[in-house]
Structure 1
Amino acid sequence: MASPANHLPQAGVGTPPSAFEEATYRKVAWRLIPLLMLCYVVAYLDRVNVGFAKLQMSSALNLSDAVYGFGAGIFFVGYFLFEVPSNVILHRVGARVWIARIMVTWGLVSILTMFVTTPTMFYVMRFLLGLCEAGFFPGIILYLTYWYPAHRRGRMTTWFMTAIALSGVIGGPVSGWILKSFDGANGWQGWQWLFLLEGLPSVIVGVLVFFVLDDRIGKAKWLTEEERALLERNIAAEDATKEDLPLMTVLTSARVLVMSFTYFSFVMGLYGVSFWLPTIIKATGVKDALTIGLLSAIPFAAAVVGMVLVAKSADRTRERRWHIAVPAAIGALGLVLSVTWAHDTTLAMTALTIATMGILTTLPLFWSLPTAWLAGTGAAAGIALINSIGNLAGFLSPYAVGWLKEATKANDSGMYMLAAFMILGGLLALSAPAKLVNR
């Protein structure tokens, strides 16, 4: 006898989803998204807290801006090298074990960074941090494709990626407070306490993931049989329209490479702001570390609102390309204005807020492009390759901004460079075939 689940209505394009379907996806969202957001908050904090550590670390270890930029960026070399194999492993062994492993190891490396004393040690620890974290972000993007069809995934990806903004909202004030309040305690400087106190949560959350996260819909005991059947049927229907390409075909695909360079352009903007925001605010005349931390939270708080509203519009209209290109242009404008108005803290903060809103809004919506047509192992490899190439910008961006700052004795040229990359990314997003990505 057929299961009652087989007779549940399935929403398609133009068909309003049933109340049962909406309730089921709400249940999934409340179970998964808060945990994934928590993971990304602590992940992103460990990745970019070096921007706050720099406020004390540079003088303590005698690091130049170029040395700092290289050390901040070398994280992404290790990240690049292990990204694709890490995501393929996750696809095979499951997200629960692999995400937990990633988080515990990167937390430990982040903590050990408190003991660096030379530029070389700084480089090594940043490289190892990237090696340990490789596969986390593309693993989560892949994981969401196991649960959500494309017309729901944009909003869920955005909620997950608001963790970037939330880490800025939380991390800025907390990092500034740690630098100011713990400096000298137990004979350690504030930047050392920063790595210790912000690395511990990653280890704790990693253990939590091991016990709480479910690999697939079929393993989720908190779902009823009817709910599992509905979710699996929707995923199967979408997977039937995707390409599960051989690994080498994906790695050499022109379409994947275009997507990679699109993401590269947006990540240039992201890390240019993330790594240098405290320094840019300080250059406007703000000297107190706690005040810098509080001010740095403003652009990220505004970005949360922008990200959610634009993602909601993109999912409702099922249009992706212009919802990416327009925020990219707004982000570029904000970057240019941030140096034009650099003499005034209020105006500079307004510009940085505009820039951060535009840049962060592009990122989650970008992932609706490649995940619209990749499936299976091909999706695992393709998403990882796009993310790894894109995140090489995380190496180039802070180093290039630091080098240009030293060469020109000003922030202007670095911000102009980042703005140009945002415009390029928006144009590349518009080049994606509308019929392929607007679902």
Structure 2
Amino acid sequence: MRIAMVGAGYVGLVSGACFAEFGTDVCIVDTDASKIEALRGGRIPIYEPGLDKLVEENARDGRLTFTTDLEEAVRGADAVFLAVGTPTRRGDGHADLTYVYAAAEQVAKAASNPLVLVTKSTVPVGTGQQVLEIVRKARPGLAITVASNPEFLREGSAIGDFMRPDRVVIGVEEGEAGERSLAVLKRLYRPLNLIEVPILATRIETAELIKYAANAFLAVKITFINEIADLCEKVGADVHDVARGMGLDGRIGRKFLHAGPGYGGSCFPKDTLALARTAQDQGAPVKLVETTIAVNDARKAQMAERVIAACGGSVAGKTIAVFGLTFKPETDDMRDAPSLVVVPRLVEAGATVRAFDPQGTAMARPMLPGAVHYARSALDAAEGADALVLLTEWNEFRALAPKRLRAAMRGDVLLDLRNVYDPEAMRAAGFRYQSIGRP
């Protein structure tokens, strides 16, 4: 089989490389010539563990190619995937579908043979039907069918998620057109039959909503355990044990029950907001999701105030070390990271911030105020600091010796906003230690 992937961003690049690993011929096309040139030279524009090796091997073997020429990419393809951005639209919170619709029209005009046009981007309910209308108008005489195949990739473990997914969701049109699309996509995912991955075939609208519903539910779980953590602090309970007690219930599950400074990243913030706006427009508001958004936004600001309170009510003239800037470990993604709220607030309050992130510094520089100093290592960031804030739970922060860390600092305040460290060990090392939801 041969496919084209429109968009060399996170979803397009990971999905394209993984499909190539399945044995499919994949051509990734993007309008950014510098990005395509970098990929041809073996340089990966994002950080994702294992992706560089996967791209290198499949490019070397000829299964993975890169181009800026859409006609070249689409020529002879059995399926074309749209993996372009759907950022939050300014002003109203809806997903901006400009790139999706433009790419759909361009693919239809460039196509020379029947194919399946698949939305891989996260799109609101109804997008597939709009794409279908665009395609029919652009190429009324060519048998182009439309399908939805949402991605469920977690940054930092995306390759494993693609190769060993919980499920594959395929949304198709009704009738013969849908049957043709489904047959093509099932062939494409055939390697997963060996590990008996469930393939759920639905209508396009259902597939689109599954993605939003799944992300919104996970965001609700995160926000719920964060509020329970606050209650734990008031009553002397331990949120770790509460989460474990909940997670052992098979109806709930243990994942996404880790208290922290709030969710961020490329998916949860924009997807929950887009779902809420769509539901409002349809007259079926999702109040639980709306509240989740508000509570999560407020939580990030609360974390900054927690740091200030731990420093005696003022950080003016003090040096604050910040461990981790990305929204989660094993990625360089800074989108909606808690650090984008916490760090500027500390700087505004008069602090000097010394930050270290193993992968996120380049992305963070243009997004954080100029008063932030970027350290070369965790210990370099902690040198002479009055207080330390752990924002992202990179493994290398877990490995730091408490006494060595304390010796590097001038002050003794440590706020562990990810519950990484052992409270007793940190207090024994001389820290005034605070975490989330633990007595």
TM-score, with structure 2 as normaliser: 0.24
Answer 1 or 2: higher relative contact order, Cα 8 Å, separation at least 6: 1
TM-score (norm 1): 0.24
Hey, which of these two has a bigger chunk of strand by percent?
2
